[in-house]
Structure 1
């Protein structure tokens, strides 16, 4: 229950939190800010968190709240016209990954959070409901609607991926 325990946890969890944050916001620098804010909040309550079963679940919940709070506060948003991914895309179909990331950026923040948690983080409906403070039924409905919106965007080709 020392600061050294937190440092060890933070070093191990930071890359995973940053990847999840990137999937939520599509900006590596903002993802880093979200990760740092999350870790700072965890540090403040570290002794209490450590007594829980899963610091990872608590960290995920804090990260989601940081992301959603940012979305609510952002009255004027910066529009990224062209985005260069900092992470390597899979070699077999990089354009598919870019297309999917672009489509994810066009759905609502809440839908994106639900889809990232359910299908990227592979969390259960109940876990997602608990993290977002909504009912399991809402998670199921929003998951289906989010996937439908994503499929519609991908099917219609409502955007172009730049070379």
Structure 2
């Protein structure tokens, strides 16, 4: 029996969800691919242990967040590009909201951004997010509160999204 048995199936089954998380963390499709690939290499190395009794999904999510935070700590030089980035055609309010929200998320610190992604996109509970981030539930609560406050300051045009009663309750 190969110690990688089941790894391929895990990746095929969870790749889309993990890629979404990576994209929401990085805000860039190419960086998200790089992030996910580097994490999956680490997961493959631990697969024997994970498949025998660990939680591969939780381990992989935690590795994504940790790797993303690690990348954000290292300064990277900007690389010139011969191509001008494409601009999205703004056709409706939802599209505009997504663009503004993505830009606002990019201005958050890595841990605050991770908390917002895990709590609101991945729909994890405070306890689950705390486990992924390796911190206390209280830290998740305070980081969520501070991140939402910062988002309200950075992007007041998103007030209709950030003033949802459920979000207001979570941030208290």
Q: TM-score, length-normalised on structure 1?
A: 0.82
Partner in structure 1 of residue 78 of structure 2 = 78
What is the RMSD of the two structures over their aligned residues, measured on CA atoms? Answer: 2.7
CA distance change for structure 1 residues 83 and 101 in 2, over 3 Å: closer, same or farther? Answer: farther
CA distance change for structure 1 residues 129 and 31 in 2, over 3 Å: closer, same or farther? Answer: same
CA distance change for structure 1 residues 119 and 77 in 2, over 3 Å: closer, same or farther? Answer: farther
CA distance change for structure 1 residues 92 and 153 in 2, over 3 Å: closer, same or farther? Answer: closer
Matches within 5 A, 1:12-161: 12-52=13-53, 54-73=55-74, 75-76=75-76, 78=78, 84=86, 93-155=94-156
Q: TM-score, length-normalised on structure 2?
A: 0.78
Q: How far apart are residue 92 of structure 1 and its match?
A: 6.2
Whole-angstrom CA distance in 2 between matches of 1:127 and 1:150: 22
Where in structure 2 are there 5+ consecutive unaligned residues? Answer: 159-172
Whole-angstrom CA distance in 2 between matches of 1:36 and 1:85: 27
Rg comparison, structure with higher value: 2
Whole-angstrom CA distance in 1 between matches of 2:21 and 2:114: 9
